[in-house]
Amino acid sequence: MHGQKSSLSSIFSPIRACENRVRFDPPHLGGSKADRLFGGQTTAQVAQAVKLLNPECCVHTIKVNFVAPGNITTSLTIDLDRVPETQFVHGHVFQDKREIATCKVRYGGVDDLLDAPVYQMENVRSPLSYATLEELLRTTEERHPWRLLTLLVKNGFFEMRPVDGDHILSVPMDRKALQVWCRISEACRGDEAFAKADGVSIVLMISDYLVAIPAHINLLQYHQEHEFGIGASLNHMVTFHEVSNLDPAGWYLYQANCAVHSYNRYIIDAQIFDTRGRCVLSSVQEGYLRRILESQLSVNRVDVLYFTNKKSSDRMGTARSQICEEKAQTSLRIA
């Protein structure tokens, strides 16, 4: 966790500074760059701030616009203003008097949630029957063309188990949804601040953590992965469908598609399911990928050998089978 002693405390220890202001003290969680604030944390902090000021209500929808990068070492304040006679609040997120995000939140009672989504969880196996992303990267013979997967593992916030490892480690032959089982990592669960954690904040963080992967998969299909580096989110909108009995230490299935991708900008449609098959939330997120300059391509370009022949795929499949040999293979029972 970038060497931070207790970064989860910056999410689950909000401080009411005045009537409509909530402060979160560092250290914060880093994102794709270790010294840059993780956008999923900011979204979770907005939800925490609304809950602190309106303890009897729950968040229905939340939209965050990221207008400037934040850092992990400065206190973060959120100013919330309720729209009179409504259940909407507008907010502004600051660090050192510099605005880094704006937000809009609708809140209310649990009975008013949009709890009948059309999203259906596919018939996938239980989480532990799949290899972790860390194991998949370790058993991949070819060098992977983009650093994002390695950074996600290195950050150590979540344990990630892709339903189809080939879909993200090789050139995909179709446009099916990305599916990854996630839960908060063992290291984070051991953080003393985790005792205050709630499931709503955890799934908000998951919704932002893997968001760039479907965009990178698109680049793999067009063999343009070497032209773009790691980017960031521009805005993030989440609609909750279930908030009851969300286990902060539980497994959640992140499912996402990227059907809109223009140059270095993209839109991700995603859903998160719990182990009972409930669609907890749906989200729409816009992001961008950093363009690598032409002068850098000759130095940074990676010559990639893809899994395009059966022999290579068989070698990879054998390695993964050894990893999963002793893991549970039972199908997930959908309630």
CATH code, domain carrying 203: 2.40.160.210
| 242 CB-near residues (< 8 Å, 6+ apart) | 113, 115, 274, 278, 279, 280, 281
Q: Give a yes or no: residue 40 inside a domain.
A: yes
* Residue 281 near residue 207 (C-beta atoms within 8 A): yes
Q: Give a yes or no: residue 315 inside a domain.
A: no
Q: Give a yes or no: residue 74 inside a domain.
A: yes
Q: Give a yes or no: residue 334 inside a domain.
A: no
Integer CA distances (angstroms), 153 to 17, 70, 95, 285, in order: 35, 22, 28, 22
Q: Which two tokens stand for residue 188?
A: 């984070």
> Which amino acid is it at 80?
L
| 163 CB-near residues (< 8 Å, 6+ apart) | 124, 125, 130, 179, 180, 181, 253
pLDDT reported for residue 297: 45
Q: Give a yes or no: residue 260 inside a domain.
A: yes
**How do residues 133-184 score in pLDDT, each as one tens digit?**
999 988 876 555 567 888 889 889 999 999 998 887 776 666 689 999 999 9
pLDDT reported for residue 107: 96
Burial class of residue 30, CB neighbours in 10 A (0-12, 13-18, 19+): buried
Q: Give a yes or no: residue 149 inside a domain.
A: yes
| DSSP code at position 25 | P
For residue 326, pLDDT over 50 is answered with no
Q: Which residues pair with 184 in a beta bridge?
A: 158
Ramachandran area for residue 97 (φ above 0: left; ψ -120 to 50: alpha; else beta): left
Q: Give a yes or no: residue 313 inside a domain.
A: no
**How do residues 79-131 score in pLDDT, each as one tens digit?**
999 999 999 999 999 999 999 999 999 999 999 999 888 898 989 999 999 99
| 84 CB-near residues (< 8 Å, 6+ apart) | none
Q: Give a yes or no: residue 202 inside a domain.
A: yes
**How do residues 202-256 score in pLDDT, each as one tens digit?**
999 999 999 888 888 887 777 666 677 777 889 999 999 999 999 999 999 999 9
| Range of the structural domain that residue 177 is part of | 8-110+130-295
Total of domains in the chain: 1
**How do residues 45-66 score in pLDDT, each as one tens digit?**
999 999 999 999 999 999 999 9
pTM tops 0.75, yes or no = yes
Residue from 293, 305, 298, 284 nearest 264 by CA: 293
